[in-house]
Amino acid sequence: MMPRLALLCWLPLLMAGCAAPEIRLDREAERLHLTRSLVTGTDFQHLVYRNPAPMQNGELHVYLDGDGSPWIHHRQIADNPTPRNPLVLRLTAQDPAAAVYLGRPCYHGFATKPPCSAELWTHRRYSKTVIATMSAALGEIQNTLHPDKTVLIGFSGGGALAMLIAERLAGISGIVTIAGNLDPDAWTALHRYSPLTGSENPAKHPPLSGHIFQLHLVGARDTNIPPDLIRAAVRRQTSAKFVEMPDADHDCCWELHWPSILEMITNRR
């Protein structure tokens, strides 16, 4: 039996490990000196984290996270889809430009708040409803911060959202995707998942304006979003740049390469 003193020492660690994912992300954001706020989209609340960097040259970077945990073992719908991996928070914190992390509807503790339903983080995760509220929330952020240019930076499923938001929101000057799910239909077919009925597929939409800078990064070792899965979708876009990182997979090692990737964004002209 574990001694009582040892049990008391372990208890805070066990409690931290059992904390809800949105609480763990809040703690990580605080550690990274990101400030937390809420913004209203359409009928949904969105969590926003902002880094302390000042606006430079009127440019704002907006980070969009992946799909998080919509399913448990691909069988049972999760009751809390909030991302468990704070990768995108850490990328936001590394950015020397003014940057915000914009959360999705029904994530970050809002899953039980009306009008949320599990459809919005499972089959309809890229639906018109999600795109409309994300665009409205980002519009509110733009109205507050008044950037001249906005660059969307989307990880995994956040890459699909970036492409879809850019279709409908003014002021988007660039899109950067990291292991972006740019063709959800091809992705579900590859992994033999159920089709994302009710979701939009950016690969089946008209190409974005050639005035929008596009940089699509993918890991050569990524088995979730392999390079060949999205290569055709990138080729359809005007002047889009496709970069395959030889030592990266889906989650690793984007933090290590992020400073050089940020230089690519800064020096895109």
Instruction: Reply yes or no on whether the pLDDT at 8 is more than 80.
Output: no
- From 131, 150, 159, select the one nearest 67 (Cα to Cα): 159
Q: Are 145 and 60 in contact (CB under 8 A)?
A: yes
Ramachandran category for residue 131: left, alpha or beta (phi over 0 → left; psi -120 to 50 → alpha): alpha
| Mean pLDDT in residue range 25-47 | 97
pLDDT at 269: 60
Other beta carbons within 10 angstroms of residue 175's beta carbon come to 24
| Mean pLDDT in residue range 117-128 | 98
| Mean pLDDT in residue range 80-105 | 97
pLDDT at 268: 80
Summarised one tens digit per residue, pLDDT across range 133-189 is 999 999 999 999 999 999 999 999 999 999 999 999 999 999 999 999 999 999 999
Query: What confidence category does residue 74 fall into, taking pLDDT thresholds of 50, 70 and 90?
Result: confident
Report helix, strand or coil for 242. Answer: strand
pLDDT at 154: 98
pLDDT at 92: 98
Phi, psi (deg, nearest 5) at residue 136: -65, -40
Summarised one tens digit per residue, pLDDT across range 214-262 is 999 999 999 999 999 999 999 999 889 999 999 999 999 999 999 999 9
Q: Name the packing angle between helices 87-94 and 21-31 (round to 10°).
A: 20
Q: Are 85 and 27 in contact (CB under 8 A)?
A: no
- From 63, 225, 46, select the one nearest 155 (Cα to Cα): 63
According to DSSP, the β-strands at 59-64 and 98-102 are: parallel
Q: pTM to 2 decimals?
A: 0.92
Residue, of 137 and 10, whose pLDDT is higher: 137
What is the full DSSP assignment across 180-227?
----HHHHHHHHTPPP-TT---GGGSPPPPTTSEEEEEEETT-SSS-H
| Mean pLDDT in residue range 53-80 | 93
| Mean pLDDT over each residue of the chain, to the nearest integer | 93
pLDDT at 18: 62
Q: Which amino acid is at 163?
A: M
